[in-house]
C-alpha cells in the first residue's frame, strides 16, 4: 500500500534504497520530486503542486498521461494475457506489421524494452554482418547507456575532439573501438572513411541531436553519410 508523503520525505527514503535516489540517472534532479499522479498534460507531486509536463518522459507520451483509450486497451489485454516466455503473441505481430507499413525503410522489427537495447542489438548485428569492429558516432548524439556509445554527448569544451566517456567502469577496449566525429562535418566523414572505411562496421547517428539543443542536420551531410556507407559496405543506423 502507498502511504502519501511529501517530496522531501520520499526523496530521502529513495536515496536510502535506490542508487542516486532515482531509477535512471537521467531522472535525477537538483531538488526532491516525487510524483503521485498524472493526467493529460500535467502531473502532481507529493506536496500537491501540479506541473504542466513539457518533459513528457523524454517524448513517448504523445497522447498525454493516462489517455482513457490507451488505458482501456491496456486493461483489456491485462485481463487475458500477461508475460509469456515462449513463442509470439498476435499483438506483437500486429505492432511489427504496423511499423513496417508506416516506416518506408522497415522490413522487419525487433521489439526491445529500451532504446539502449535497440542500439546495442543494431551495433552487434552490424558487427556480425560486416565482420568489422569499429563504430562511429558524432559529438553531441545520445544512443543509450552501453559502453560502445555512452560518450561525447554534452561534452565540456575542453573534451571536444577527445573521448569523453560518461561513466567510470566502461571497458577501455570498447571505448577505443568507437570513433567520434563532429556532427554536420562532411570533410571529417570523407577523411575517416578513406582512412579507416574497411574497419568500420557502422555509423550511428541521431538525426536531430536533442541533448545539445536539437541541432538540425545539413541535408547534404545526411546524403554524404548515406552514400559513403553504401559505397564502403558500412551499416547506417
Ligand atoms: C536517439 C536515442 N537513442 C537511444 C536512446 C536510449 O534509449 P533508452 O533511454 O530507452 O535506453 C535515446 C534516449 O533518449 C535516444 O534519444
CB count, 10 Å around CB of 237?
19
Please report, rounded to a whole number, the percentage of residues in the chain having pLDDT higher than 70.
98
Mean per-residue pLDDT, 137-163: 97
Question: May I ask the CATH architecture of the domain 1-82?
Answer: Alpha-Beta Complex (3.90)
User: Residue 25's pLDDT is what?
Assistant: 87
Ranges of each domain in the chain: 1-82, 84-112, 115-236
> Contact 190/199 with Cβ under 8 angstroms?
no
- For residue 113, the ligand 1 atom closest to its alpha carbon is 10
**Cell triple for residue 37?**
499522479
**What digits encode the pLDDT tens for the residues 169-227?**
999 999 999 999 999 999 999 999 999 999 999 999 999 999 999 999 999 999 999 99
In the sheet where 134-138 sits, what is the strand order? 178-181, 134-138, 200-203, 235-236
Q: Whose CA is nearest to atom 3 of ligand 1?
A: 143
- Which fold, 115-236? 3.40.640
All three cell numbers of 35, joined, read 510524483
Q: Of all protein residues, whose CA lies closest to atom 7 belonging to ligand 1?
A: 115
Average pLDDT of the segment spanning 64-85: 95
Report pLDDT digits (tens) over 8-36.
999 999 999 999 999 988 899 999 999 99
C-alpha–C-alpha distance, residues 126 and 113, integer Å: 20
Residue % of the chain over a pLDDT of 90:
95
**Ligand 1 cavity residues, CB under 6 Å:** 58, 114-116, 119, 142-144, 206
pLDDT at 3: 63
Give residue 4's pLDDT band: very low, low, confident or very high (50, 70, 90): low
Band (pLDDT 50/70/90 cuts) for residue 233 is: very high
- Taking the centre of ligand 1 as the mean of its atom positions, its distance from the CA of residue 48, in whole angstroms, is 31
Amino acid at each position: 500500500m502507498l502511504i502519501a508523503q511529501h517530496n522531501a520525505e520520499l526523496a530521502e527514503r529513495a536515496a536510502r534504497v535506490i542508487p542516486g535516489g532515482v531509477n535512471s540517472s537521467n531522472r535525477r534532479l537538483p531538488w526532491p520530486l516525487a510524483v503521485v499522479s498524472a493526467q493529460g498534460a500535467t502531473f502532481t507531486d507529493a506536496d500537491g503542486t501540479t506541473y504542466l509536463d513539457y518533459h513528457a518522459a523524454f517524448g513517448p507520451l504523445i497522447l498525454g498521461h493516462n489517455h482513457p483509450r490507451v488505458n482501456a486497451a491496456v486493461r483489456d489485454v491485462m485481463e487475458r494475457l500477461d508475460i509469456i516466455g515462449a513463442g509470439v503473441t498476435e499483438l506483437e505481430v500486429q505492432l511489427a506489421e504496423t511499423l513496417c507499413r508506416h516506416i518506408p525503410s522497415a522490413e522487419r522489427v525487433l521489439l526491445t524494452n529500451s532504446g539502449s537495447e535497440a542500439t546495442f542489438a543494431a551495433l552487434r548485428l552490424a558487427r556480425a554482418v560486416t565482420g568489422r569492429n569499429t563504430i562511429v558516432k558524432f559529438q553531441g548524439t545520445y544512443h543509450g547507456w552501453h559502453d560502445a556509445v555512452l560518450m561525447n554527448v554534452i561534452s565540456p569544451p575542453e573534451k571536444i575532439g577527445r573521448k569523453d566517456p560518461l561513466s567510470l567502469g566502461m571497458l577501455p577496449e570498447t571505448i577505443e573501438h568507437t570513433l567520434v566525429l563532429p556532427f554536420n562535418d562532411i570533410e571529417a566523414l570523407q577523411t575517416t572513411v578513406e582512412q579507416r572505411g574497411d574497419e568500420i562496421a557502422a555509423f550511428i547517428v541521431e538525426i536531430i541531436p536533442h541533448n545539445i539543443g536539437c541541432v538540425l542536420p545539413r541535408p547534404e551531410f545526411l546524403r554524404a553519410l548515406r552514400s559513403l556507407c553504401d559505397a564502403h559496405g558500412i551499416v547506417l543506423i
